[in-house]
């Protein structure tokens, strides 16, 4: 039985295969309609979600299964029922659980006790499904994973950046992570990604990170659950905005990515977000194709 708590649960070959199949299913949207027939997939959310929840719900439905949305405050966890008991019970009803949790350790409890596949729909540590869609978008824009330079700008210590680093390790990609020192990525995740082949440069200099970049990526400065740090973060990260001046330093055909939701005027400007280089809304669309591909991989191919 497979889980996807982080991209480390996939081999590099599987990661590429899921992306290639996602590109295929985008062109062949009516295939695979029987993959999940008879399967009940729970979608458990402790935090808000537009893209992840709706793309998973649509993907399960398109593959012939049933999605059951479980909001935390509507089930007994919110009244103190232990996670372990909830995990055991959900495992008796469902064939899989997609879960967005405050703490990554909640996913680990589900994985340990539910006996069904658990897919991370975002935790405080990782956002693996996002990175699969990100790398699909890079590939469909004809960028070669091994030769491009990615410039990730802003909060390097968040779930999105960490999964991006894991993805770079799968594809041996060069990435510059550019953040103020105290917002640098988790050192263990960096070392692990480096040991598997990612070429990671950590810098505090946005111009160095942007020079000749092929892919620009940013994410919000205040992630879900960090709202009480908002004022401090806005001050600390103000020089790390993705704007026209930085974009100009990239290659002519560079692309701009953002996982969304965005805070325009903070981590990205309106101009950049809607520029000709922006593939942000294709990237959001690709969440659907990659969720289909991932579920097909989990329930059909393995």
Tell me which residues are annotated as active site: 100, 127, 130, 219, 259, 287
Helix segments in the chain, DSSP class H: 12-27, 51-62, 83-93, 104-113, 128-140, 159-171, 187-195, 206-210, 230-236, 244-247, 270-273, 280-296
Shortest separation between residue 10's beta carbon and ligand NVA, angstroms? 20
In the DSSP assignment, the letter for residue 186 is P
Binding mask 66-105 for ligand CP (x = CB under 6 A): ----------------------------------------
- Between residue 232 and residue 261, which ones bind ligand CP under the rule CB under 6 A? 259-260
Backbone angles phi, psi at 189, to 5 degrees: -65, -40
CB 247 within 8 A of CB 275: yes
Find which of ligand NVA, ligand CP, none residue 3 binds, CB within 5 to 8 Å per kind. none
How far apart are CB 50 and ligand NVA at their closest, in Å? 9
Q: Which is nearer to ligand NVA, 160 or 294 (CB)?
A: 160
Does the CA dihedral 228-232-234-237 come out positive or negative? negative
CA atoms within 13 A on the CB side of 46: 19
Closer residue to ligand NVA (CB): 240 or 299: 240
Q: Is 46 in the site for ligand NVA (CB under 6 A)?
A: no
Question: Rounded to an integer, what distance in angstroms lies between the CA atom of residue 115 and that of residue 136?
Answer: 30
Residue nearest ligand NVA, Cβ-based: 223
176 burial class (0-12, 13-18, 19+ CB within 10 angstroms)? buried
Which CB, 3 or 158, lies closer to ligand CP?
A: 158
Among 11, 50, 78, 302, binds ligand CP (CB under 6 A): 50
**At a CB cut-off of 8 Å and minimum separation 6, what does 256 contact?**
215, 216, 217, 242, 247, 268, 272, 273, 275, 277, 278, 279, 280
Binding test (CB under 6 A) with ligand NVA, winner from 224, 236, 264, 275: 224
Residue 50's binding partner, choosing from ligand NVA, ligand CP, none, with beta-carbon cut-off 5 to 8 A by kind? ligand CP
* C-beta closer to ligand NVA: residue 40 or 103: 103
Q: Which of residues 174-213 bind ligand CP (CB under 6 A)?
A: none
CB-based contact 167:173 (threshold 8 Å): yes
Please tell me the distance from the alpha carbon of residue 240 to that of residue 242, in angstroms, as a whole number: 7
Among the listed ranges 43-51, 136-144, 190-198, 226-234, the one in contact with ligand CP (CB under 6 A) is 43-51
Site track for ligand NVA across 231-260, x = CB under 6 A: ----------------------------x-
Three-class DSSP category at 237 = coil
- As a whole number of angstroms, the distance between CA 259 and CA 137 comes to 11
Closest CB to ligand NVA among residues 157, 243: 157
**Binding segment toward ligand NVA, per CB under 6 A, in 21-29, 134-142, 155-163, 289-297:** 155-163
| Closest to 124 measured CA to CA, from 192, 193, 186, 188 | 186
The residues that touch ligand CP, with contacts defined as CB under 6 A, are 49-52, 122, 130, 259-260
The residues that touch ligand NVA, with contacts defined as CB under 6 A, are 122, 158-160, 219-220, 223-224, 259
């Amino acid at each position: 039985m497979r889980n996807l708590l982080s991209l480390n649960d996939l081999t590099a070959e599987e990661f590429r295969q899921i992306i290639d199949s996602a590109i295929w299913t985008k062109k062949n949207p009516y295939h695979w309609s029987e993959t999940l027939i008879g399967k009940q997939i729970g979608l458990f959310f402790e935090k808000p979600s537009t893209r992840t929840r709706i793309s998973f719900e649509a993907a399960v439905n398109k593959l012939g299964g049933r999605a059951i949305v479980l909001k935390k405050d509507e089930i007994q966890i919110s009244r103190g029922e232990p996670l372990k008991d909830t995990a055991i019970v959900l495992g008796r009803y469902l064939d899989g659980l997609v879960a967005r949790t405050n703490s990554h350790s909640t996913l680990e409890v589900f994985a340990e006790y539910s006996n069904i596949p658990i897919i991370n729909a975002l935790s405080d540590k990782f956002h693996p499904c996002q990175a699969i869609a990100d790398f699909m978008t890079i590939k469909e824009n004809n960028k070669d994973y091994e030769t491009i330079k990615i410039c990730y700008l802003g909060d390097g210590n968040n779930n999105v950046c960490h999964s991006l680093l894991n993805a770079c390790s799968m594809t041996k990609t060069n990435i510059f992570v550019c953040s103020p020192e105290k917002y640098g990525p988790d050192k263990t995740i960096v070392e692990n990604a480096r040991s598997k082949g990612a070429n990671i440069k950590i810098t505090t200099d946005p111009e160095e990170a942007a020079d000749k970049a092929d892919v620009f990526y940013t994410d919000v400065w205040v992630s879900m659950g960090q709202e009480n740090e908002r004022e401090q973060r806005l001050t600390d990260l103000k020089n790390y905005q993705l704007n026209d001046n930085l974009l100009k330093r990239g290659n002519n055909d560079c692309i701009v990515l953002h996982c969304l939701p965005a805070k325009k005027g903070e981590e990205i400007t309106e101009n950049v977000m809607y520029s000709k280089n922006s593939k942000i809304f294709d990237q959001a669309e690709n969440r659907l194709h990659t969720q289909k591909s991932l579920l097909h991989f989990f329930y059909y191919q393995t």
